[in-house]
Structure 1
Amino acid sequence: MPPVSLFGPLDALVGDHIEYVLLAVVLANQVTRILAHRQHVQQAAQGGADAMTRSLPHTVSNVLLVLVSFYYLTLHHHGGIVASVLVLGLFITDFFEFEARKVEARRDIPLERPKGAIAASLLTLTYVGYQSLFFVVEPIWTALV
């Protein structure tokens, strides 16, 4: 458990493994992004832009990702700030990507993949993966540094 405990029992349960929790939530968010895009393509094909709605599982995973990254910020300040900025960028990108898909549906053109959100998600996954799986590259890192 970290020396300063802001959330008491939560810190005792999850505090030592928060990097892995964050990695799992980032991966779950990517899966929900794929499913949400499939849902949007089907909705646009059936009813156009008016039929398109935000995917509830993806919205929940976005909110959970923001909350977990903010919790990570309370435990590990440097890594938490970087992860939180990346996650907030991903959250904002997801918001505007949905609106871009609605514009495409209104114009009756095929819906593209949410490229900006995919790029932001991969950048977030790379950083969180580095934070949580550092033990894999630690021998190489310590040899170089």
Structure 2
Amino acid sequence: MQNGIGARQTIEDALAGRRVASVSGGGRLDLTLDGPVTVRVVHEFRFSAPSEVEHFYPELTVHPTGALLGLVGRTVDGARVTMAGGLELVFDGVGTLSVPPHALLAPWRVFTPEGAVCTGLPGGEVAWSEDGRTG
């Protein structure tokens, strides 16, 4: 187990309760959580807030908006891998980030400085690392 995250946990166990330290964009979205743990999204995703829904496409470059930047300091209230292999993160009442699976690429992953912890693989499969050193 590295930084309190191990392969026998669920994504909820690994992420719930962690605070967002930073949000960055570019050709991907990186949410750095305390721990440190990073959630990286390299595929399209949706951020649903109570009053709006925004769609983002990293291949067109992600520029974090007010809604995404507003996640800094917020806590991950819930996290789950969907039945299809997507990722959903709920942030303490401000919104939900949803990453769909992708047939040809790994659209998301969760990692520590030691390496990947959990990765959404092509075709909707999900892989957990035993020691945090893969990926």
TM-score by length of 2: 0.24
Structure with the higher fraction of residues in strand conformation: 2
Instruction: Flag the structure with higher helix content.
Output: 1
TM-score (norm 1): 0.23
Structure number with greater Rg is: 1
